C-alpha cells in the first residue's frame, strides 16, 4: 500500500531547473492539512487552486497596514492602496505581454469578463441574422452570455463540434466560419477534459474575416505561458482563483481600441468624468469598466500570485505536470470498467472519467474519507458531457504541487472505493 511519508518525486533534471516539489508544497499551508485523519490530497485544481503563504501574507498586510479606498483620497493610506492596486495591473500587463496597462480591466472573474464583452460589445454591434461562434467544449460561462445576447439581438449561436478524443473538429470550424460570423469566443483549455485548443491557428483563421476573438484562458493561465500580442486576440479572460490568487478577482484583457469603443457595462462611482442631471461622461478604459469600489485586496493578491508563479521555471513546471498527467493516465486507465473522457494529444493534467456501475458522487464521497478531494458532476460543461453520453464524471485535476506518490495513493484508493460501491 502506498504511503505519503515521503512525497518527493522530482527528477534531478527538474531540480537543476530550480523546480523542487517539496519546496513548493511547503509554500502552501493548506497542503499540510489532514482530512478525516489522513493527509489531504487536493486534486480539484481546475475548480480552484490553493494559495501560497506569500499571497495570504500580502492580503493580511493590506488589511493591517494599507486599507483605504483607491483613487479618491489624497491621504497616505489611500495613496498606498491605490499604488498597490495599480501596481497589480502592471504585473498582469507584463505577465501576458499586453501592449498597454490600459488594456487590463479588473473584474470579479472570467464569468464577469465574458458577460462584460457579450453585453457591451455584443449589444452595440450584433444585429439580427449575425452569427456568434463558440465550441461544444465551452464552460457554461462562455455559453449562456452569448445565448442571452443572441436572443436579445436576433443573432444565431453556432457550435464547433468535438470529436471522440475531445478535440475540436477543425474542418467543421472552417465550414461554420463565414461572412455572417461576427464574433468568436473559444476556450483555450477545456476545464473538464483538459484539451489544449490550437487557439493561435483559430485566431489567424478568424482574422481573415476581420472578426474579433475572445479567449477563455481560465485553465491556460496556471499551466501555460500567455502572450496576447503573439496570439493577437481582441479579448482574453481568466480568473485569479485558478492561478493561486484569491477568489473574487479576475482579468479582462482587451485591445485598447476595442475597449474604448465599447459602452460601459456597469455604471456608478469612479468610472465617470462628469455627472450632471442632463448628461454623464465616462473615463477611458480600463476605469470605464471598473464601477464602484473594486476588490482591492484581491487585485493585490493576484499580483502577488503572478509574481510567485513567475519565480518558478515555466518550462520545468510544464515538464513536471506532463509527467504527472502521463503517470495518472497510466494508473487510472488500468482500472477495470473505467473510461477516461477526453484523450486529446495535447492536454493539461486534467483527467475526467466514468466508471461502469458506480455513480461519480458516490466515488467522490468515499474518496473524501481517504483524504482525497476530486470534483464530481458536469463541471459546468453539460453540452460537452452530453456529447460523450454521460451526465457526470469524476475529475482529477492536478497542479505543480501534486506528486507521483499522491497519484499512486489515489489510484489504490479508487480501486478500493469502486469495489466497495459494487459489492
Active site residues: 380
Interaxial angle between packed helices 404-422 and 314-333, expressed in degrees from 0 to 180 and rounded to the nearest 10: 30
User: Cell digits for 182?
Assistant: 461576427
Tell the residue number behind the cell numbers 501574507, with chain if given: 57
Answer for the pair 357, 421: CB distance below 8 angstroms, yes or no. Answer: yes
User: Cell digits for 112?
Assistant: 464577469
How far, in Å, CA of 414 to CA of 368, rounded? 11
Answer for the pair 27, 54: CB distance below 8 angstroms, yes or no. Answer: yes
The three state secondary structure string of the chain is CCCCCCCCCCCHHHHHCCCCHHHHHHCCHHHHCEECCEECEECECCCCCCCCHHHHHHHHHHHHHHCCCCCCCCCHHHHHHHHHHHHHHHHHHHHHCCCCHHHEEEECCHHHHHHHHHHHHHHHHCCCCCEEEEECCCCHHHCHHHHHHHHHHCCEEEEECECCCCCECHHHHHHHCCCCEEEEEEECECCCCCEECCHHHHHHHHHCCCCCEEEECCCCCCCCCCCHHHHCCCEEEEEHHHHCCCCCCEEEEECHHHHHCCCCCCCCCCCEEEECCCCEEECCCCHHHCCCCCCHHHHHHHHHHHHHHHCCCHHHHHHHHHHHHHHHHHHHHCCCCEEEECCCCCECCEEEEEECCECHHHHHHHHHCCCEECEEECCCCHHHHHHCCCCCEEEEECCCCCCHHHHHHHHHHHHHHHHHHHC
Amino acid at each position: 500500500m502506498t504511503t505519503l511519508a515521503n512525497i518527493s518525486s522530482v527528477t534531478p533534471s527538474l531540480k537543476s531547473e530550480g523546480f523542487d516539489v517539496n519546496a513548493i508544497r511547503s509554500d502552501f499551508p493548506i497542503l499540510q492539512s489532514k482530512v478525516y485523519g489522513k493527509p489531504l490530497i487536493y486534486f480539484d485544481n481546475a475548480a480552484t487552486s490553493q494559495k501560497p503563504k506569500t499571497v495570504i501574507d500580502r492580503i493580511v498586510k493590506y488589511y493591517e497596514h494599507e486599507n483605504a479606498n483607491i483613487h479618491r483620497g489624497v491621504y497616505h493610506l489611500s495613496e498606498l492602496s491605490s499604488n498597490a492596486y495599480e501596481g497589480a495591473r502592471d504585473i498582469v500587463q507584463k505577465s501576458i505581454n499586453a501592449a498597454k496597462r490600459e488594456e487590463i480591466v479588473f473584474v470579479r472573474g472570467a464569468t464577469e469578463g465574458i458577460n462584460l464583452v457579450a453585453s457591451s460589445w455584443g449589444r452595440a454591434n450584433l444585429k439580427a441574422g449575425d452569427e456568434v461562434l463558440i465550441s461544444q467544449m465551452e464552460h457554461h460561462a462562455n455559453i449562456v452570455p452569448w445565448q442571452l445576447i443572441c436572443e436579445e439581438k436576433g443573432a444565431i449561436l453556432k457550435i464547433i463540434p468535438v470529436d471522440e478524443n475531445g478535440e475540436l473538429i477543425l474542418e467543421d470550424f472552417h465550414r461554420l466560419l463565414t461572412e455572417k460570423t461576427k464574433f468568436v469566443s473559444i476556450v483555450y483549455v477545456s476545464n473538464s477534459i483538459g484539451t489544449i485548443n490550437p487557439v493561435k491557428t483559430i485566431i489567424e483563421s478568424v482574422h481573415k474575416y476581420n472578426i474579433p476573438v475572445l479567449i477563455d484562458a481560465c485553465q491556460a493561465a496556471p499551466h501555460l505561458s500567455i502572450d496576447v500580442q503573439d496570439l493577437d486576440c481582441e479579448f482574453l479572460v481568466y480568473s485569479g482563483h485558478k492561478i493561486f490568487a484569491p477568489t473574487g478577482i479576475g482579468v479582462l484583457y482587451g485591445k485598447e481600441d476595442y475597449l474604448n469603443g465599447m459602452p460601459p457595462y456597469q455604471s456608478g462611482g469612479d468610472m465617470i468624468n462628469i455627472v450632471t442631471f442632463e448628461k454623464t461622461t465616462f473615463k477611458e478604459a480600463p476605469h470605464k469598466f471598473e464601477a464602484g469600489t473594486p476588490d482591492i485586496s484581491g487585485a493585490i493578491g493576484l499580483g502577488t500570485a503572478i509574481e510567485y508563479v513567475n519565480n518558478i521555471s515555466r518550462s520545468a513546471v510544464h515538464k513536471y505536470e506532463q509527467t504527472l498527467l502521463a503517470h495518472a493516465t497510466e494508473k487510472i486507465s488500468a482500472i477495470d470498467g473505467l473510461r477516461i473522457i477526453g484523450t486529446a494529444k495535447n492536454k493539461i493534467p486534467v483527467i475526467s472519467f466514468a466508471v461502469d456501475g458506480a455513480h461519480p458522487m458516490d466515488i467522490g464521497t468515499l474518496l473524501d474519507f481517504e483524504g482525497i478531494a476530486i470534483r464530481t458532476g458536469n463541471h459546468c460543461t453539460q453540452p460537452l458531457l452530453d456529447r460523450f453520453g454521460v451526465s457526470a464524471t469524476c475529475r482529477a485535476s492536478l497542479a505543480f504541487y501534486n506528486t507521483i506518490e499522491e497519484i499512486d495513493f489515489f489510484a489504490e484508493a479508487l480501486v478500493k472505493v469502486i469495489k466497495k460501491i459494487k459489492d
